Structure 1
Amino acid sequence: MKENVIDVLLYLFETYIDTEERNKPDNEVLELELEQVGFQELEIHKALEWLDNMTVAADQPLKRHATMRVFSDNELERLDVECRGYLLFLEQVGVLDVETREIVLERVMALDTEEIDLDQLKWVVLMVLFYQPGREVAFAWMEDLVFEDMEAIVH
């Protein structure tokens, strides 16, 4: 099974999204569970580090007031036109603000993948919003978008 960091993150997010903070397992228990499910140790460590850095990013709000975002060459390589357009759309409808957009981009760049597709980007946005205090409405809106898209695929 060829799994990557985002697969581990999706598993954790889907498994523990509704779990109360005090009932969440510690990293050692998570590592054991993930290994039993079939994820590789290296991917597990990268995913847990990615999540640890997510909470650090959420605790450090950015001070950016740019009206236009210019993507770096690395970001252009990782995010295709569809993904970049989707980020712009999310900003325009108020799901993302400048700070959360930058956190999303930073977290995308921290993933161990050469390219990210739109569905993966949506999950990253959802995870970022989950960790942002005061962004509950945006999280709920994004959650509806992600799960509606999943239902459309199934039907």
Structure 2
Amino acid sequence: MFEVLVYVYENYWQGAACPEFDRLGRKLIAAGFEAEEIQEALVWLDGLNIAAKGTQISLPDAPGALAGEPSDSGAVPARMQAQASNSLRIYSVAEQAHLGAQSLGFVCFLETSGVLPPHMREIVMDRAMAAPGDPVSLDDLKIIVLMVYWSFGEEPDALVLDELCDDTEGRLAH
């Protein structure tokens, strides 16, 4: 599945340039990917599109801004409230088991570096939980982070992109 995602990222850099899933599926078959791998990637991408489109951040002083606050019609808006600066994200036991310490540490690194805002972090966590692997490898998590940026039509900072794409096995710690 991750090879298909990398192919989509490289060939349709802007998420808006990506064709509809039926057409994309045909292009991926023509590119030589297995049908099962394509189907798994398309389901994953559909979940990413739903998550990215459903993410809306409201300001607390805006009408109906609080998540779960009923509007005049009585309907509850499906918006996220912006995370407070003193809030803390606790990872569930299932998230800890599925991602592993190395991947969770990388998510924390990106978040504390200021390059992964809370709303994008939540989509990364959602899509990581939907990804195969126990635990999800760090390389696969990096692809997930790239795809989340891709879904928002954003290019990561050059240093972040280097961190996401660079092979770290040859690095020496000092």
TM-score bracket, shorter-length normalisation: 0.7 to 0.9
Aligned equivalent of 2:26: 32
In the TM superposition, what is the alpha-carbon distance from 1:8 to its structure 2 partner? 1.6
Aligned equivalent of 2:63: none
Give the alignment partner of residue 75 of structure 1, picking from 83, 95, 115.
95
1:41 is aligned with what amino acid? Answer: A
- The alignment partner of 2:81 has SS state of coil
In the alignment, is the contact (CA less than 8 A) between 1:129 and 1:139 conserved in 2?
no
Q: Give the length in aligned residue pairs.
A: 144
The structure number with the bigger radius of gyration is 2
- Runs of 4+ deviating beyond 6 Å: none
Q: How does the TM-score come out when normalised to structure 2?
A: 0.69
Q: Which one has a larger percent helix, Structure 1 or Structure 2?
A: 1
1:126 aligns with 2:146: yes
**Farther off after superposition, 92-101 or 59-68:** 59-68
Task: Give, in whole Å, the separation in 2 of the partners of 1:65 and 1:19.
Answer: 26
Give the alignment partner of residue 52 of structure 1, picking from 46, 50, 53.
46
* Unaligned segments of structure 2, at least 5 residues: 56-79
Aligned equivalent of 2:77: none
C-alpha spacing 1:28/1:120, structure 2 compared with 1 (3 Å): same
* Unaligned segments of structure 1, at least 5 residues: none
Aligned equivalent of 2:37: 43
Give the alignment partner of residue 15 of structure 1, picking from 11, 18, 21.
11
Task: Give, in whole Å, the separation in 2 of the partners of 1:15 and 1:152.
Answer: 26
Q: Alignment identity in percent? A: 35
- Post-superposition CA distance 1:69-128 (Å, at most 9, x none): 221122111112111111111111111121111110001011133321111111111110
**Farther off after superposition, 91-100 or 36-45:** 36-45
| Aligned-residue CA RMSD (Å) | 2.6
1:107 aligns with 2:101: no
1:29 is aligned with what amino acid? Answer: R
In the TM superposition, what is the alpha-carbon distance from 1:37 to its structure 2 partner? 3.5
2:36 is aligned with what amino acid? Answer: L
**Farther off after superposition, 8-17 or 86-95:** 8-17
Task: Give, in whole Å, the separation in 1 of the partners of 2:5 and 2:27.
Answer: 13
